[in-house]
Amino acid sequence: MLDKELLEILACPKCKGDLEYRPEENVLICWNCKLRYRIEDDIPIMLIDEAEPIEEGGVHGVHGQDSEGA
């Protein structure tokens, strides 16, 4: 678990926005950037390069998806 105090000072390095802590996944999520920052040994890896993009599970073809010769 991360310190509450630490969580309060953490912000997304990209947009400086708030992060959502997911203890069960051991990640911090920025919904603005749709990036997921992992936490290693209770140390959040706050690097844009290390962040993983979030795929919004099951949300398909919401906008701008051309069906390419289905």
Tell me if 28 contacts Zn ion by CB under 5 A: no
Burial class (CB in 10 A: 0-12, 13-18, 19+), 18: middle
Q: Could you tell me which stretch among 2-10, 32-40, 45-53, 57-65 binds Zn ion (CB under 5 A)?
A: 32-40
Nearest residue to Zn ion by CB is: 12
* Cross-strand pairs, 8: none
At 5, the amino acid letter reads E
User: Shortest approach of Zn ion to residue 9 CB, angstroms?
Assistant: 15
Q: Which positions lie near Zn ion, rule CB under 5 A?
A: 12, 14-15, 17, 30, 32-33
